[in-house]
Amino acid sequence: MKKQIHYYLGFIFCLVAININAQISEKSPPPTTLQDINNDLYSVIEIPSPDVTTLLQEDSFTDKHGIAMRFAVSTPVNINLPEDGTWMQLNDGSSICRIAITSKKAQALIMYYREFKIPKSGKLFLYDESKRQSIGAFTNFNNRNGGKYATEMIYGETTILEYWQPAGCNELPVIIIDDVSHVYRTAERIFGDRGFGGSGFCEVNIKCPEGDNWQEQAGGEARIIVKQGSSEVWCTGSLLNNERLDHTPYFLTADHCGPNATPEDYDQWIFYFRYQGSDCENPINDTAFNSYSMVGASKIAAAGGPGFESDFKLLRLNESVPLSYEPYYNGWSAKDETSGQGVTIHHPQGDIKKISTYTSPLISTNWGSVPNTHWKVVWSRTETNFGVTEGGSSGSPIFNSAGVILGQLTGGDASCTDTLGPDYYGKFSHSWNKIGTGAETRLQPWLDPDNTGIVELGGLVSVMVYEQFSQKNIKIFPNPCSGIAFVDFNDLDIKGVANLQMFDVAGRIVFSKNVNPELTKIIRLDLTEIEKGIYFVSLITDHKKYMVKLVR
């Protein structure tokens, strides 16, 4: 059984983590939907389409072999929404400004902005022509500095931008698009019958049985739209915990994901958290998903791409991750020790979150000329299928049986047609302190900022993430207790078996057992052999999570 290591922190840390700027948009329909305005009286700007045949020929030589998976290319533009768009006054005195941007045969479009600043009262929406996909409202909470920004991709050949301002408002937004990205692959099945995403037939969704014990680790992962100059590539990465347990949004991926990206490019990277289906089957489409995306990061440290050391890249997201995203800051191990079994969690070809399993020991090897920089892994068949990795999986973490990260994906040969082909993960232990002499090429200075000497750390989840899901909670009495305590479930309406666990403040599991609150409303805990201190007792069901602090 997989041993899970967690850290549960109190409210003082949780409150620091809340930052509304991180939310890419509010969820609300555009004014033309609310007022049933169906006319097409707006400007249309056509962007030249790229030579897709040539792009695909180039891609066939680069996918999955240390070069991240390109799926889109950008065209420079200079589109000023309030100047180039078409204004229209609504019956209530408010106004809208609309513009359509189109590129023939595009599977989707991504907007990149040179300047993006919205007045306090204004709102921006983006949608496709049929409004099957709509994002917004974007407000002045987004990108308050007014500089570089990006919005997530909208499916189809045409994206419509709709800006709304109330009656009497004279302040115009500053919304200037300087790049429009034409998505030419991996989004072709978004509205198809099979589901969406182009990943292979053998991949295993994170909500399949193989992912049952890995849901918290999956909460720390995101797919990334990586911008580098005029190209966009798919990659995967994960939030990392650090020695201070302070929710700093450190994010690990591969350095070959945008190896030549500029600081301006990093400000426009898009991170999609919780991009996954609700069960083991592929969803019909992804337009019903809530948006859990963020924009922007800065590069903190890196080791060079494939062939150069361990191919790691450490980012710091520009904003704290909102608690509504249920973030999990994954643990890690800098020990150069193999693992006999574990998983990787990833977004192959930009698809929804998948999981692949290994059951034979990782082998120490290298990708380039430096020895012992990588773990070699061969995947195993599991209950659902034979999960592997693909282009877009680059940067995804590999976990050991304790649920902590040992490295990130550089590349390899595994595929649905070569399930026994090996993959290679840059070692966390090599990235820790074996590259160069400065903080810009090592993980240790950032993840152990106080130089405590730790080489292993569990994952971090906050108490508030649990408590926000329910107004009721479990009760413990007496609390504080001197040895015997009772857990009371009488206020909870829980059906079936749930998991009861207790952790100390270091995240170590004191005990874990399955209980049935329908049958037993009060459970006796004998803590006489447990040291005095502060503990957290949690009850986890399929749909809710509860937690309460206990003082011994």
Q: Which amino acid is present at 125?
A: F
Measure the CA–CA gap between 283 and 275, rounded to whole angstroms.
11
CA angle 419, 424, 430 (to 5 degrees): 160
Catalytic member of 182, 247, 256, 430 = 256
Catalytic member of 394, 396, 429, 431 = 394
List the alpha helices (DSSP H) in 352-474. Answer: 428-433, 444-447, 463-467
189 burial class (0-12, 13-18, 19+ CB within 10 angstroms)?
Answer: middle
Query: E strand or H helix at 126, and its extent?
Result: strand 123-127
Beta bridge partners of 476: 487
Q: Which two tokens stand for residue 539?
A: 């009850």
- How do strand 95-102 and strand 43-46 relate by DSSP bridges? parallel
Active site residue 84: no
Residue 82: which of 117, 47, 48 has the closest Cα?
117
Catalytic member of 63, 265, 286, 311 = 311
Q: Which two tokens stand for residue 384?
A: 């659902």
Q: Answer whether 224's CB lies under 8 Å from 236's CB.
A: yes
34 burial class (0-12, 13-18, 19+ CB within 10 angstroms)?
Answer: exposed
Residue 476: which of 543, 393, 547 has the closest Cα?
547
Q: Please give the sequence-ordered ranges of beta strands (E in DSSP) within 128-193, or none if there are none.
A: 134-138, 149-155, 158-165, 174-183
Active site residue 311: yes
Active site residue 293: no
SS3 state at 361: coil
Q: Which two tokens stand for residue 189?
A: 């099945």
Q: Answer whether 254's CB lies under 8 Å from 299's CB.
A: no
The region that residue 22 occupies, defined by phi over 0 for left and psi between -120 and 50 for alpha, beta otherwise, is: alpha
The answer for residues whose C-beta is within 8 angstroms of residue 391's C-beta and 6 or more apart is: 63, 64, 68, 69, 234, 348, 349
**Catalytic residue numbers, as ranges:** 256, 311, 394
